[in-house]
Structure 1
């Protein structure tokens, strides 16, 4: 799994845990729905940390909590 796939899975996991739609997440995070859709649909390959921070703020978690997940433990090598 690469970092983009892990970020997508983590966002979807957190939304499911909180019973949030992508639209609701975009509203509480202050990020446009099209941006969040692009992220979760894999159209954005490099989600910036500022965007992840806004998503975390909307979800009521820290950036550390976002990345404190097994999804990020065994990522593919970024540079080959």
Structure 2
């Protein structure tokens, strides 16, 4: 499975689990519905998360390890 496939599948899983639509996710997240649609349909070969994934791999880390820092706690992120 490619990273983009995993990302699309995870979004689809969470939409079903939370019982929300792509449109509601767009409204809740502030991400354009079209951008979410492109991720779900794997139209983008490169996206910001994919780049972070590659950077984490460069450090020999998983995404979970990369983001496991107080820097990424919700109260420390402003946008």
TM-score class, shorter:
0.5 to 0.7
**Gaps spanning 5+ residues in structure 2: where?**
50-62, 65-79
How far did 1:44 drift? 1.3
* 2:16 counterpart of 1:16: yes
Q: Which aligned pairs between 1:4-43 and structure 2 lie closer than 5 A?
A: 4-43=4-43
Q: Secondary structure at 1:46's aligned position in 2?
A: coil
Q: Secondary structure at 1:45's aligned position in 2?
A: coil
Aligned length: 51
The one of the two structures with greater contact order (alpha-carbon pairs below 8 A, sep at least 6) is: 1
**Gaps spanning 5+ residues in structure 1: where?**
50-62, 65-80
Distance 2:34 2:48 in 1: 15
Distance 1:47 1:19 in 2: 25
Moved over 2 A (4+): none
Query: What is the root-mean-square deviation of aligned Cα atoms in Å?
Result: 1.5
Name which one, 1 or 2, has greater alpha-carbon Rg.
2
